[in-house]
Amino acid sequence: MKENSQITGPYVIGLDLGGTNSVFGIVDAKGDIRKTTAIKTTGFKCARDYVIACIEALKPVIEEVGGIQSIKAMGIGAPNGNYYRGTIEYAPNLPWAHDEVVPLAEMFSHELGIPVALTNDANAAAIGEMTYGVARGMKNFIVLTLGTGVGSGIVVNGKLLYGSNGFAGELGHVIVRHENGRSCGCGRKGCLETYCSATGVARTAREILESDPRPSLLRQLDPQKITSLDVSLAAERNDAIALEIYRFTGHLLGEACADFAAFSAPEAFIFFGGMTKAGDLIMNPIKEGYEEHVLPLFKDMRFLVSGLEGSSAAVLGASAVGWELLNN
Amino acid sequence: MKENSQITGPYVIGLDLGGTNSVFGIVDAKGDIRKTTAIKTTGFKCARDYVIACIEALKPVIEEVGGIQSIKAMGIGAPNGNYYRGTIEYAPNLPWAHDEVVPLAEMFSHELGIPVALTNDANAAAIGEMTYGVARGMKNFIVLTLGTGVGSGIVVNGKLLYGSNGFAGELGHVIVRHENGRSCGCGRKGCLETYCSATGVARTAREILESDPRPSLLRQLDPQKITSLDVSLAAERNDAIALEIYRFTGHLLGEACADFAAFSAPEAFIFFGGMTKAGDLIMNPIKEGYEEHVLPLFKDMRFLVSGLEGSSAAVLGASAVGWELLNN
């Protein structure tokens, strides 16, 4: 295409490596995604096969933007990603990285001949917010990703907090209920994720439908099949039970944020993921839960919804990890 | 004195500003305290009078080490100290800073003509450990001070974590019990401090003495007057109830550390304060509570007792804040 032959970069490849799809974007320095491509993440016997398939998918789009010379780096956001080591480690939802440590950054770097950085998906979201989103100009903030699980990226003094082993910021697994806590996939009980993930919201829905006798649109559904999307749709229609589910979820999340504030004194919490589409229906209970539980020292707090919502958010976040590599 | 006339510095003044005493040390670059002096912290109508009394006390020791030219900076560790602003803010235990913001760093700097840095006492302890104590060479660790309250200093990438407002690291006020939590001086319920401070241990003692019928040396005391020191003495004599009090306290503290690990992934927790004198009697329950509750990602953890115990620890920590000022 003529238009593309004029493109010279510099660009960075962003890879949003999800449990189902792997989405690539070729991103310019302004944060515009110039080209995208995608493959399924699953169906590969080993990480090597996955990387080969990725390279095959990338080749034509790389050519379209002027060849590999115009690409300066690659950034990957992946579950259980370790920034220090450039690895994916024991990722429960990735068959080819389930029981092992996969040096994915090195594998891509070897194939493409460019530097590659990898971090976990929530950290990529935090870097994306700082580079292109609502956290521009902020030095201290926490991103919470509310999806199948609850992830977090913590920024301190303008830098992602990785800690001693690269795994800092596992706030989805902070224990928020010490008595009768819900069982978590991690093997423990009472983790934040068991309440505030999409799965947690569905579970809360089933519990409240059983204990609260009020009528609800949700009663038309098979309780075992209720999803957080069902709750969201009912809440939008002012369904009392759905609103109660959000109230419970938001209060608990706000309460957890009060403890997180005592840790790193951020200037804002930024929420990312499907649940934030509910807007004030979830954000107001979060603020209420926070205000009820926070130390006066941390009263002044901003609660924001990601400025990068949509399918491109995670790709932009991943690309920002690549740009960061060039700037350090 | 002849010996002193040979001393030329450079030195830093460290001030451990406690609720009862203000202890000054003139510290050399190796961390040796060359001179000390002290005044009572209380008995002053206003911060101005306090500073004047401090300067009066300091004058002769400053002369003894070669005059103010040999002193390069001053560091202060103080309750409710704000590093960014150099202030003490609304410190409940300091009559002259109870209801106000006192710009103490500026006041000392004005009087002495040298740069002055101020931080809260637990942060000073953390900087002290990093400079002179068991955290030398560590980049990511958390100091927990177990005293009348529970304080914390969090180090991330070799730097104290201050957050957006200078008050990061209030881990004594993380809520560890959401149901039937103990009332805290901060006005909330279930704070870590209500269980793991000296006061919290005394409270646990009263509760366990009521609920556990076993004989105990502690039953000889007026329950309302039991202190954490009494518990410590009884525990050393293998008193079953005292050991149970430590087990409860340590488990709860270890459980809280498991959550802190998920936040900043430190390589070690360092405990500071009187309770650590109980050694394994408290450290083993902390480790057990941690191991039972921590995510596998953070299993590898070191639990250390401060290398700066003793009356000079806080002064050294404060002086380290002063040295840091010169190195930045």
Q: Output the pLDDT for position A92.
A: 78
Residue B7 clears pLDDT 80, i.e. is over it: no
Q: Output the pLDDT for position A114.
A: 97
The CA distance from B177 to the nearest CA of chain A, in Å, is: 7
Q: Tell me which residue in B162, B178, B259 faces A174 most closely, judged by beta carbons.
A: B259
Weakest-pLDDT range from A88-97, A296-305, B256-265: A88-97
A46 in B contact zone (CB under 8 Å): no
Contact list in A for residue B175 (CB cut-off 8 A) is 255, 258-259, 293
Q: Which residues contact B265 (CB under 8 A, 6 or more apart)?
A: A162, A163, A164, A165, A166, A167, A168, A169, B140, B297, B298
CB-based contact B177 A174, cutoff 8 Å: no
Q: Output the pLDDT for position B23.
A: 94
A173 in B contact zone (CB under 8 Å): yes
Look up residue A183 and give its DSSP letter. Answer: B
Q: Can you tell me the mean pLDDT for A242-269?
A: 97
Q: Output the pLDDT for position A2.
A: 44
CB-based contact B175 A298, cutoff 8 Å: no
Instruction: Kindly give the interhelix angle for B47-64 and B104-112, rounded to the nearest 10 degrees.
Output: 40
Instruction: Please give the residue of chain A at the shortest CA–CA distance from B297.
Output: A167
State what percent of residues in chain B have pLDDT above 70. Answer: 97
Weakest-pLDDT range from A59-63, B107-111, B306-310: B306-310
Q: Output the pLDDT for position B310.
A: 63
Q: Can you tell me the mean pLDDT for B264-290?
A: 95
pLDDT band at residue A305 under the 50/70/90 scheme? very high
Residue A1 clears pLDDT 70, i.e. is over it: no
Q: Output the pLDDT for position B2.
A: 44
Structural domains in chain A, CATH included, are 2-127+311-327 (3.30.420.40), 138-305 (3.30.420.40)
* Residue B124: Cβ within 10 Å count: 37
Question: How many interchain CB pairs under 8 A, A with B?
Answer: 123
Q: Tell me which residue in B159, B176, B186 faces A295 most closely, judged by beta carbons.
A: B186
Q: Output the pLDDT for position B273.
A: 87
The CA distance from A195 to the nearest CA of chain B, in Å, is: 15
pTM, two decimals, is 0.91
Q: Are B265 and B141 in contact (CB under 8 A)?
A: no
Task: Determine which helix (DSSP H) or strand (DSSP E) holds B101, and give its type and residue range.
Answer: strand B101-102
Q: Can you tell me the mean pLDDT for B97-122?
A: 94
Contact list in A for residue B296 (CB cut-off 8 A) is 186-187
pLDDT band at residue A328 under the 50/70/90 scheme? low
Instruction: Please give the residue of chain B at the shortest CA–CA distance from A91.
Output: B297
Mean pLDDT (chain A, rounded) = 93
B85 in A contact zone (CB under 8 Å): no
Residue B245 clears pLDDT 70, i.e. is over it: yes
Mean pLDDT (chain B, rounded) = 93
Q: Can you tell me the mean pLDDT for B318-323?
A: 93
Contact list in A for residue B264 (CB cut-off 8 A) is 154, 161, 163, 168, 263-264
Residue A6 clears pLDDT 60, i.e. is over it: no
A301 in B contact zone (CB under 8 Å): no
Weakest-pLDDT range from A83-92, B6-15, B153-162: B6-15
- How far out from the chain centre does Cα A58 lie? 23
Q: Can you tell me the mean pLDDT for A173-200?
A: 93
B132 in A contact zone (CB under 8 Å): no
Q: Tell me which residue in A159, A164, A255 faces B265 most closely, judged by beta carbons.
A: A164
Instruction: Please give the residue of chain B at the shortest CA–CA distance from A192.
Output: B259
Contact list in A for residue B295 (CB cut-off 8 A) is 170, 173, 186, 188
Q: Can you tell me the mean pLDDT for B173-195?
A: 93
| Digit-coded pLDDT (tens) for A205-214 | 999 999 999 9
Residue A59 clears pLDDT 50, i.e. is over it: yes
Q: Output the pLDDT for position A4.
A: 47
Higher confidence at residue A147 or residue A289?
Answer: A289
Q: Output the pLDDT for position B1.
A: 42
* Residue A305: Cβ within 10 Å count: 19
Q: Which residues contact A211 (CB under 8 A, 6 or more apart)?
A: none
Give the residue from A328, A321, A309, A307 showing the smallest Cα distance to A15.
A321
Give the residue from A81, A97, A120 showing the smallest Cα distance to A41.
A97
Q: Output the pLDDT for position B132.
A: 87
The CA distance from B74 to the nearest CA of chain A, in Å, is: 25
Q: Tell me which residue in A166, A177, A262 faces B174 most closely, judged by beta carbons.
A: A262
Q: Can you tell me the mean pLDDT for B283-287?
A: 97
Length of chain B: 328
Interatomic CA distance for residues B213 and B209, integer angstroms? 7
Weakest-pLDDT range from B42-51, B228-237, B302-311, B316-325: B302-311
B161 in A contact zone (CB under 8 Å): yes
CB-based contact B139 A171, cutoff 8 Å: no
Q: Are A179 and B255 in contact (CB under 8 A)?
A: no
Q: Are A150 and A125 in contact (CB under 8 A)?
A: no
Helices (H), chain B: 2-5, 47-64, 104-112, 121-132, 193-196, 198-211, 228-236, 240-264, 280-293, 313-327
B302 in A contact zone (CB under 8 Å): no
Instruction: Please give the residue of chain B at the shortest CA–CA distance from A188.
Output: B293
Contact list in B for residue A296 (CB cut-off 8 A) is 186-187
Q: Output the pLDDT for position B116.
A: 98
Interatomic CA distance for residues B129 and B123, integer angstroms? 10
Q: Tell me which residue in B165, B167, B266 faces A164 most closely, judged by beta carbons.
A: B266
Contact list in B for residue A167 (CB cut-off 8 A) is 265, 297-298
| Digit-coded pLDDT (tens) for A218-240 | 999 999 999 999 999 999 999 99
Contact list in B for residue A267 (CB cut-off 8 A) is 164-165
Residue A311 clears pLDDT 80, i.e. is over it: no
